């Protein structure tokens, strides 16, 4: 019987584990059957094979201790752990599991967060997300569940026509055909694959389509370009799965499908290169408020008109990003929690994705992507309440001293006082204090709290948007992060109070650092 290299390694690894740990303990870890169940037609992950299998086969509480031991012995590092976890997630879920794809979106943010921490604490954000990953893999069947399998290169060229064919196959819910078309790019560059993917990503107003495509593309830097097709296939399958759900409920396609061609024709954007015209702060504020206060079609029209006037995409994207941030700041308490899958967090993460994708995608796809982003942002609002912090929130802050303001913000976070946390950070920024200490404070709680699957990527969103937003407006992003952090503190995924993120406290004990 022929065995794949992966199966060979798994069988060898299984024997070594059982020999080294004993059959009883190996069984407790989940190795006694999981390795044997893997089929011979799994994906080839090269030097990461055994680590991927280890993550698919090990329960989360046992995995943490094993990975900390590997880190401390120098057998592996955080980058390799993140890469292996991403591949384990991709093969297991293929972009078709809600918790699974949210976890995939968190890998790069968690790794980047780790690089901002003191050496001894650096593994914490990565271990936290790896715990989430392992937990969902085990709940879904462990190593027995394989969604992504090898696919042969097809005859389709990775060009604009193939992108439209991929979009049409997705609209029909034809998973095998969509996979076959995308396989035409298997030997191409990551950017070729990414451009091929854009028409289907832009074809439906769904935040998960947007963010998954962006985060999967970012993962290539950590996992390696040889796995780019595996990572981006997840977006294809996620989009087709959405369409299958739509078709099963007999729902029409999204209105963006008819609106986009009209806007492209009206503003003569087809074949147009992105503009380079600079704008002032007031222009940014005006477009931000227009996007925020308009309905979705009007917002898309405003973005298309700006692009037709040769305004640089960076400026248009900045204004839409600020409109999404306004959703965070203006959500009234009556609308529920601000963290997790709230309109503001979703809108901000989506616009961060579109801004990043517009920087690398083919010029035509960059323009249409920003129009889709404007449509999505406006679809989520507006709220009628004024933005945080209000005058009442500001009145609770009695100092302008930097350390005292940070202490106020931390106390507000621990009491879930969103208004006071927002006010402390707003005043801190207005006083001209350095932002680094604020990011350090928010990072601390992003690592320790659950965040309803959205904490890591929203922290990354704010970090990037702060850096790419002009000084007049950038502190709004950090004020939004302060509000979201105060909302999330001590709440688990079921909105029960008094909990930290699953796996966090165990990881702290294993690393011998303060909880």
Cis geometry, peptide bond prior to residue 352 (ω within 30 degrees of 0): no
At 328, list the tokens.
Answer: 């965070």
Residue 14: pLDDT band by 50, 70, 90 thresholds?
very low
Contact 67, 509 (CB under 8 A): no
At 320, which helix (H) or strand (E)?
A: helix 313-330
| Degrees to nearest 5, angle at CA 227 with 223 and 232 | 100
Quote the CA–CA distance of 325 and 322 in Å, as a whole number.
5
State yes or no: pLDDT of 39 exceeds 60: no
Asked whether the predicted pLDDT for residue 5 surpasses 60, the reply is: no
Residue with tokens 């024709």: 265
Banded pLDDT at 158 (limits 50, 70, 90): confident
What's the confidence (pLDDT) of residue 495?
94
pLDDT averaged over the chain?
93
Q: What share of the chain is helix, strand, coil (3-state, %, to 5)?
A: 70, 0, 30
For residue 16, pLDDT over 50 is answered with no
Confidence of residue 290 (pLDDT cuts 50, 70, 90): very high
CB atoms within 10 A of CB 49: 22
Structure tokens at 244: 């299958």
Instruction: Identify the pLDDT of residue 207.
Output: 98
When pLDDT is averaged across residues 254-276 and rounded to a whole number, the result is 97
Cis status of the peptide bond prior to 382, with omega within 30 of 0: yes
213-223: per-residue pLDDT in tens?
Answer: 999 999 999 99
Half-sphere exposure of 249 (CA within 13 A, CB side): 8
Task: For residue range 179-215, list pLDDT tens digits in order.
Answer: 999 999 999 999 999 999 999 999 999 999 999 999 9
Query: Measured between alpha carbons, how far is 302 from 46 in angstroms, rounded to an integer?
Result: 48
User: Region 147-152: what's the mean pLDDT?
Assistant: 95
- Strand (E) or helix (H) holding 262: helix 256-266
pLDDT of residue 235: 98
Cβ atoms 491, 479 nearer than 8 A: no
Per-residue pLDDT averaged across 76-103, rounded?
98
Give tens-digit pLDDT for 422-435. 999 999 999 999 99
pLDDT at 410 over 90: yes
């Amino acid at each position: 019987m022929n065995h794949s290299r992966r199966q060979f390694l798994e069988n060898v690894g299984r024997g070594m584990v059982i020999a080294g740990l004993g059959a009883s303990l190996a069984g407790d870890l989940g190795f006694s059957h999981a390795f044997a169940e893997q089929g011979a037609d799994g994906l080839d992950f090269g030097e990461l094979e055994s680590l991927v299998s280890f993550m698919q086969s090990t329960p989360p509480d046992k995995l943490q201790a094993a990975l900390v031991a590997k880190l401390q012995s120098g057998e592996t590092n955080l980058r390799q752990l993140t890469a292996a976890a991403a591949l384990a997630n991709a093969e297991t879920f293929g972009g078709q599991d809600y918790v699974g794809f949210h976890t995939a979106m968190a890998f790069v943010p968690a790794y980047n967060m780790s690089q901002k921490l003191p050496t001894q604490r650096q593994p914490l954000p990565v271990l936290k997300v790896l715990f989430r990953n392992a937990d969902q893999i085990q709940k879904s069947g462990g190593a027995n569940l394989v969604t992504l399998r090898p696919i042969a290169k097809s005859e389709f060229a990775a060009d604009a026509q193939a992108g439209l064919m991929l979009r049409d196959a997705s609209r029909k819910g034809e998973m095998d055909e969509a996979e076959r078309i995308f396989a035409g790019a298997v030997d191409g560059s990551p950017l070729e694959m990414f451009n091929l993917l854009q028409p289907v990503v832009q074809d439906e107003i769904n935040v998960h389509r947007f963010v998954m495509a962006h985060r999967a593309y970012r993962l290539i830097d950590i996992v390696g370009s040889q796995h780019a097709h595996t990572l981006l296939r997840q977006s294809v399958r996620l989009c087709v799965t959405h369409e299958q759900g739509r078709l099963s409920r007999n729902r029409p396609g999204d209105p963006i499908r008819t609106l986009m061609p009209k806007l492209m024709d009206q503003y003569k954007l087809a074949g147009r290169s992105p503009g380079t015209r600079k704008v002032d702060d007031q222009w940014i504020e005006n477009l931000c408020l227009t996007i925020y206060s308009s309905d979705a079609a009007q917002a898309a029209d405003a973005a298309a008109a700006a692009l037709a006037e040769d305004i640089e995409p960076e400026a248009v994207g900045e204004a839409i990003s600020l409109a999404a941030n306004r959703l965070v700041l203006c959500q009234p308490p009556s609308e529920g929690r601000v963290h997790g899958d709230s309109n503001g967090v979703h809108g901000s993460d989506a616009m961060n994705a579109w801004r990043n994708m517009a920087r690398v995608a083919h010029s035509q796809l960059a323009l249409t992507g920003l129009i889709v982003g404007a449509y999505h942002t406006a679809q989520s609002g507006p709220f009628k309440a004024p933005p945080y912090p209000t005058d009442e929130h500001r009145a609770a802050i009695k100092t302008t001293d930097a350390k005292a303001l940070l202490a106020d913000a931390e106390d507000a976070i621990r009491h879930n006082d969103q208004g006071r946390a927002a006010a402390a950070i707003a005043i801190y920024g207005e006083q001209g204090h350095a932002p680094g200490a604020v990011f350090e404070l928010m990072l601390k709680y992003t690592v320790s709290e659950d965040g309803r699957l959205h904490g890591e990527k929203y922290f990354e969103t704010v970090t990037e948007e702060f850096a790419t937003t002009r000084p007049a407006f950038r502190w709004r992003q950090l004020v939004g992060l302060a509000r979201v952090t105060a909302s999330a503190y001590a709440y688990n995924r079921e909105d029960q109070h008094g909990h930290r993120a699953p796996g966090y406290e165990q990881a702290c004990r294993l690393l011998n650092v303060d909880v």
